[in-house]
Amino acid sequence: MSVLELSIVLMLLLFAILGSGVWIAVALAVCGFAAVMTKVATPAGQVLATSMWTASNSWDLTALPMFIWMGEILYRTKLSDDMFEGLAPWLQRLPGRLLHVNVVGCAIFAAVSGSSAATCATIGRIALPELLKRGYDERMAIGTLAGSGTLGLLIPPSIIMIVYATATDQSIARLFIAGVIPGMVLASLFMGFIAGWALLNNTRMPPPEPRLPIRQRIQASRRLLPVVLLIIGVIGSIYGGLASATEAAVVGVFLALILSWWSGTLSRQGFIDSLLGATRTSCMIAFILAGAAYLTAAMGFTGIPRALAEWITEFNMPSWALLSVLTAFYIVLGCFLDGISMVVLTTSIIIPLVTKAGFDLIWFGIYIVLVVEMAQITPPVGFNLYVLQGMTGRNIFAIGTYALPLFILMCLSVVLIAAFPGIALWLPSTMLDAR
Amino acid sequence: MRPALDWVYRGALWASALCLVAIAVLVGVQLGARLIDGVLALLHLPRTEFVLLSLNEICGYLLAAASFLALGGTLKAGAHIRVTLVLAALSEKRRRYVELWAFGFAAAACAYMTGHLASFAWVSFRFHEVSPGVVRVPLAYPQAAMSLGALILTIALLDELSVVATRGRPSFRAAEDAITVGKEG
């Protein structure tokens, strides 16, 4: 069998197994097994054991359960009330008024949480009912929430970045810091869109609320203090080189526990729920990573990634054309697959191509996170859509349409980081290295 | 049978959770010591120089054990992700057959995985392989925990296979369809 035939067969096999409801981790591993079997001399079972062992016992990957646990603890606190009360008085005066709470709230919560759906759910829990009660446009309230929730992936800490970094042997800390400025750029794009929409559709905005005196506003924003301290503790220590990603995550767990205890929301049951929830989620992701590690090792034996890289280089495409093709491919893939599978499939097959085309792997990580963000809001498979469907009872295709303008802004931000790679790469170049 | 199986899944899940707590505590102790040293240095006092030896390796092993021991409990909670797009489009009757295939296929694959992880651990045990670094942890321990976790997953898959065969749907259907925060990463 030629390499081309083999890759087509493997791809069909993977999609058939995935489609028949077999768990993603198992499907990846079985494909790896099939790929190894085409090389008669390779001991498939030994490759399985060693690649899964190497992928699972990793100090860097330890950041994953810790950040997930931190998010689980914070999800059970009153952080979302604090965020709304603290932000609302200040954002009241911008065109678009409280709709900005969605974006700013998500951006801030994203800096303590690594998940897009969790960000969407936490901010939405308070912000959405408040916005609808005050008579804001429903389409805008739901759409901007769906889009802004995806900032959870781009602004560190980020689960998907940990997955990418461990699968490609990049520094988690650097990738985290690389996400900060693109995250802010994307949030500003979202806010610009809200302001523009509000100026054009003045009639669809509710009447403004009375302005609070400055003293009361400052008093309200005191409620933001704990979350700000948490952000400084976690991201600050990574940026300053004081702690590795894992250590920062452990700091985050302890700070989140203290915050939860201090605000009186820490209960025995809540603690147990957060711990077991984190155990299950991190187990699910670690299992996918183990399956993907086997697939990656197997792919190395088949020579498919190398052949693909050579084949693409023969076209001599300029890098913008290659990126456009990849982006289109990811957008289609993102309609049907979840973010983690998209990333691990990429790392086992496309990374040699990406390196050969001369992309920086940290930069490419940010790019991947952006396309995965788009996948979160493209129906029929998109986790933020599921979350908002659960909250509002709307059909996911309807919510997808509400979020369409934000999807377009994400495409714009891909163009921006491609044109100005410094958006992603400048900040990590200034950071101190963790020990 | 039922209570015994559930006890196994639950026990392994708790063992896994305790591994994660152990990671947090170990790293926390090391960070605390570093913090105290920092303060002592500011006060021009002698440092404690307290270091947990081989902390990174030990955390890695705890993580490997945690990730695999929780596999069965995670399956039972409906938290392992899969593509349900096709399944959801099928009629309940057809879906049952596809579910039977999915559980049977996954159980066979996991049995294979269990066997090879176990023989890998056995080789480490026979040849006394230990971790690099100062503290010499026998690699067979975390590897045995991994194989045990894989075995529990295999049992859980067979268990669910029989549930689908008798009752028509997996016991975790409701939990799987519900939106668990963080599922997407």
Q: Where are the alpha helices (DSSP H) in A21-158?
A: 24-37, 44-56, 63-75, 79-91, 99-110, 116-133, 138-149, 151-154
Task: State how far Cα A138 lies from the chain centre.
Answer: 25
Closest-CA residue of chain B to A379: B85
pTM: 0.92
pLDDT at A433: 67
Look up tokens 């939405």; give the residue.
A124
- Note whether B160 and B75 are within 8 A (CB): yes
User: B106: which chain A residues are within 8 Å (Cβ-Cβ)?
Assistant: 22-23, 26
Is the Cβ–Cβ distance between A76 and B144 less than 8 Å? no
**Beta-carbon separation of A26 and B106 below 8 A:** yes
Residue B180 pLDDT: 46
Contact between chains at B98 and A20 (C-beta distance less than 8 A): yes
Longest dimension (CA), chain B: 75
- Please say whether the beta carbons of A120 and A157 come within 8 A: no
Task: Give the integer Cα–Cα distance in Å for A103 and A123.
Answer: 9
Residue A159: closest C-alpha in chain B: B185
Alpha-carbon span A230 to A235, nearest angstrom: 8
Nearest CA in chain B to A285: B185
Q: What does the mean pLDDT of chain A come to?
A: 91
CB of B86 less than 8 A from some CB of A: yes
pLDDT for A202 equals 87
- pLDDT (mean) for A114-132: 90
Task: Note whether A52 contacts B117, CB cutoff 8 Å.
Answer: yes
Cβ of B60 and A282 within 8 Å? Answer: no
What tens digit of pLDDT does each residue of A31-54 get? 999 999 888 788 899 999 999 999
- Nearest Cα of chain A lies from the Cα of B3 at a distance, in angstroms, of 20
- B114 chain-A contacts, CB cut-off 8 A: none
Q: Give the separation between CA A248 and CA A177, rounded to whole angstroms.
A: 13
H runs (alpha helix) in A337-379: 339-349, 351-356, 361-376
Mean pLDDT within A188-217? 90
- Across the interface, which of B31, B81, B184 has its CB nearest the CB of A117? B184
CB-based contact B83 A337, cutoff 8 Å:
yes
For the segment B112-162, what is each residue's pLDDT rounded down to a tens digit? 999 999 999 999 999 999 988 888 999 999 999 999 999 999 999 999 999
| Lowest-confidence region among A146-150, A409-413, B85-89, B165-169 | B85-89
Pick the residue of B67, B101, B139 with the most A CBs within 10 A to test the interface with A by mutation.
Answer: B67
Q: Find, in chain B, the residue whose alpha carbon is nearest to that of A43.
A: B116
Contact between A148 and A103 (Cβ < 8 Å): yes
Indicate if the pLDDT at residue B31 is higher than 50: yes
pLDDT at residue B182 is higher than 80: no
**Who wins on pLDDT, A10 or A41?**
A10
Which of A116, A254, A283 faces B70 most closely, judged by CB atoms?
Answer: A283
Which of B80, B83, B120 lies closest to A53 in CB terms?
Answer: B120
Q: Measured between CA atoms, how close is B81 to chain A, in angstroms?
A: 6
What pLDDT is attached to residue A209? Answer: 82
Taking an 8 Å cut-off on Cβ atoms, the answer to whether B185 and A114 are in contact is yes
**Contact between chains at B112 and A153 (C-beta distance less than 8 A):** no
User: Which chain B residues are within 8 Å of A340, Cβ to Cβ?
Assistant: 81, 184-185
Measured in residues, chain A has a length of: 435
* pLDDT (0 to 100) of residue A435: 46
The pLDDT of residue B178 is: 64
pLDDT band at A214 (very low <50, low <70, confident <90, very high): confident
Q: Mean pLDDT throughout A385-409?
A: 90
A116: which chain B residues are within 8 Å (Cβ-Cβ)?
A: 184-185
